[in-house]
Amino acid sequence: MSEPALRVRGVHKSYDAPVLTGLDLDVPAGSLVALLGPSGCGKTTLLRIVAGFERSEAGSVEVGGRLVEGPGQVLPPERRRVGVVPQEGALFPHLSVHDNVAFGLPRQERKGLRPEEVLELVGLAGLGSRMPHELSGGQQQRVAVARALAPRPSLVLLDEPFSALDAGLRAAVRAEVRASLRAAGASAVLVTHDQQEALSVADVVAVVRDGRVVQAADPWSVYAAPADLGVATFVGETIVLGGEAAGGTVSSPLGAHRTDSALRGQVAVVIRPEQLELAPADLPCVPAVVSHREFYGHDALLRLALPGGATATARTAGHPLPEVGAHVEVGVRGPVVVFPA
């Protein structure tokens, strides 16, 4: 494989308090990495450092194998070949769609085919003469992507690009943008706090916490094999129960489970709600009482009171739903994750 599109090593940054504390990140060429983390974890700061809008205090940043920031060296944003798609598109209001897209091209190419070509890539062919305010929010966002892609950057940074869109529109725009990036063969970093977004579009999800990447892996691994309890609770809904591990097996109020961990003794057992099944024929079950339920149409969440006082949440598609107060039998499918208690 060629040079990674982005390699960040040991980046430090602090304002009043430390924000980035020795952050490492790799973006393989042609892939989309989602930087996922809660508010204030420093992911936007990292993005701004990579773009060159801010300086790091220590560490290095390489884009396409070229050092853009490191000890004694800083390239200004315009020389990094890093395209940026800001949160709300930030289209130039005084320029037409075509001119927005052509903005970063050398003068002689602005009148050429490239702007239309990129507009086509994002599915907006023919809209070049419009002004930004004549477009819908989703279209504006796609123009912003086209503008970032037009100069053929080594890397595209997307800063929560879909958060300003309506929920209904978000998924569609997300898919289109993902497709455009793939079609352009672009390497990209997507900053988001939405784990669903990260898991659904990224090749690699990098979870940021307290100024560093705590886990970077493909979406399934991050979900199924989180690096620690924090990652586990952040990337999806969890049931966390106390348990006793015995190297490969663990027992919890939900019964005995298989686990890949070799831990022994007191542990925290992490189970995803969709692993819980009501009255499965092929699994050992424990009795429980339904204490609360929320119906979502395609599925429902049931809060279950377990023997011994613990509670667990089950995601179930089963019909009919048991009433609150009903006695049910519940089993856990698949292995569980455990962490030291």
Partner 1 sequence: MTELLIAPPASPGPPREGDALPGRRAVRAARRSRPPLLLVIPGLVTAAVALLPLVYLGVRSFEDGTGVVADVLLRERTARLLLRSLLLAGAVTTACLAIGVALAWLTVRSDLPGRRFWAVLAALPLAIPTYVAGFAWISLLPDLAGFFGAFVVLTACSYPYVLLPVAAALRRMDPAGEEVARSLGLSPWQAFRRATLPQLRPALAAGGLLVALYTLSDFGAVSIMRFDAFTRVIYTSYRSSFDRTPAAVLGLLLVAVTLVLVWLEARSRGRASYSRVGQGGARQGAVSRLGRRRLPALLLPATVAGLSLGLPAAALLYWTAVGVRGGLPGSDLGGAAATSLAFAALGALVTTLLAIPVGVLAARRAGRLPRLLERASWAGHALPGIVVAFSLVFLSVRYAFPLYQRTPVLVLAYAVLFLPLAIGAVHASAAQSPPGLEEVARSTGAGPTAVLRRVTLPLAAPGIGAGAVLVFLTCMKELPATLLLQPLGSGTLATKLWTETGVAAYSAAAPYAALLVLLSALPTYLLGMRTGAFDGRGRR
Partner 2 sequence: MSRRPRRWRTASTVLLTTALLLSATACGSGSDEDEELAAAAEAGSLVVYSGRNENLVGPLLEKFTAATGIPVATRYGGSAELAAQLLEEGSRSPASVFLSQDAGALGALQDAGRLDPLPAAELAKVPQQYRSPEGRWVGTAARSRVLVYNPDLVPAGELPRSVFDLTDPKYKGKVGYAPTNASFQSFVTGMRVTAGEERTRAFLQGLKANEPKAYEGNATIVDAVNTGAIPYGLVNHYYLYEKAAEAGGLDKLTARNYLFPGDDPGSLVNVTGVAVLAGRSNPNALSFVGYLLGNEAQTYFAQVTKEYPLVDEVDADIPGLPPLSSLQGPKIDLSQLDSLEDTLKLLDDVGLT
Give the interface size with partner 2 as a residue count (CB under 8 A): 4
Work out whether 98 is an interface residue with partner 2 (CB under 8 A). Answer: no
- Three-class SS state of 233: helix
Work out whether 135 is an interface residue with partner 2 (CB under 8 A). Answer: no
Which tokens hold the place of 25? 């990140």
Work out whether 298 is an interface residue with partner 2 (CB under 8 A). Answer: no
Work out whether 93 is an interface residue with partner 2 (CB under 8 A). Answer: yes
- Three-class SS state of 124: coil
Distance CA 207, CA 261 (A): 21
Work out whether 18 is an interface residue with partner 1 (CB under 8 A). Answer: no
Work out whether 78 is an interface residue with partner 1 (CB under 8 A). Answer: yes
User: Looking at 2, 76, 133, 168, which residue binds partner 2 (CB under 8 A)?
Assistant: 133
User: Looking at 6, 19, 27, 270, which residue binds partner 1 (CB under 8 A)?
Assistant: 19
Max CA-CA distance within the chain? 74
Distance CA 188, CA 122 (A): 15
Work out whether 83 is an interface residue with partner 1 (CB under 8 A). Answer: yes
Q: Within positions 220 to 279, which residues make up the interface with partner 1, using CB under 8 A? A: none
- Residue 29 gets the label, from left (phi > 0), alpha (psi -120 to 50) or beta, of beta
Work out whether 320 is an interface residue with partner 1 (CB under 8 A). Answer: no
How wide is the angle at C-alpha 63 spanned by C-alphas 62 and 67, nearest 5°? 40
Q: Of 12-20, 117-125, 295-303, 332-340, which part binds partner 1 (CB under 8 A)?
A: 12-20
Q: How far is the CB of 93 from partner 2 (least distance, A)?
A: 6
Nearer residue to partner 1 within complex by CB, 193 or 257: 193
Q: Phi first, then psi: give them for residue 108, nearest 5 degrees.
A: -70, -25
**E strands present in 97-235:** 155-159, 188-192, 204-209, 212-217
The partner in contact with residue 125, picked from partner 2, partner 1, none with C-beta cut-offs of 5 to 8 angstroms by kind, is none
Distance CA 41, CA 244 (A): 33
User: Which stretches of the chain bind partner 2, using CB under 8 A?
Assistant: 93-94, 132-133
